[in-house]
Amino acid sequence: MDNPLGLKAHHVTARVRNIDAIVAWYSDVLGLRLADRGERLGGAMQFATLTMPGYAISFVQLASPVTEVKPGQAFVPVWVHPVFSAPDPDKLYRYLDERGVRLATHGPKPEHVQTFLVYDCEGNELEIVPEESIIDAMRGAKVRA
């Protein structure tokens, strides 16, 4: 199948209840490497990024969960969005914008877009980042957010 936009899978982000337990499980059970960890929004959100060759998984834990989940219950993440890298995010942004696709940037739209959000027909969020090392691109998106 042809891929005319040159998109490649980059990473996925999911919301979790207990970021410490998640980091331990993905590290111990699946052997992923903790590449980045911290907080944003004045501590209201903690994040961790775990990597494997060619892909990353990011997790966020919010200080105020939207739904209460009891121990032992299955937890369905509230926020999950796939992230794709593109060779020229600014060019892709203009291409999609010209076609009327709903887009957003992290903060005010810069002169040259490096990361941006795309919303599908049901409002599901996708993210586009520059084609570079996975963890470097994610750190850059955090700086621009």
Structure tokens at 64: 């105020």
Q: What's the pLDDT tens digit per position in 108-128?
A: 888 999 999 988 766 768 888
Enclosing domain of residue 24:
8-144
Q: Note the pLDDT of residue 94.
A: 95
Please count the other Cβ atoms lying within 10 Å of the Cβ belonging to residue 19.
Answer: 19
Whichever domain contains 76, its CATH number is: 3.10.180.10
Q: Note the pLDDT of residue 115.
A: 92
Q: Quick check: 78 pLDDT over 90?
A: no
Whether the CB-CB separation of 128 and 89 falls below 8 Å is answered with: yes
3 falls within a domain: no
Q: Which of 98, 100, 99, 134 is nearest to 115 (CA)?
A: 134
1 falls within a domain: no
Q: What's the pLDDT tens digit per position in 38-64?
A: 998 888 889 999 998 888 989 899 887
Q: Quick check: 97 pLDDT over 50?
A: yes
Number of domains in the chain: 1
Q: Quick check: 11 pLDDT over 90?
A: no
108 falls within a domain: yes
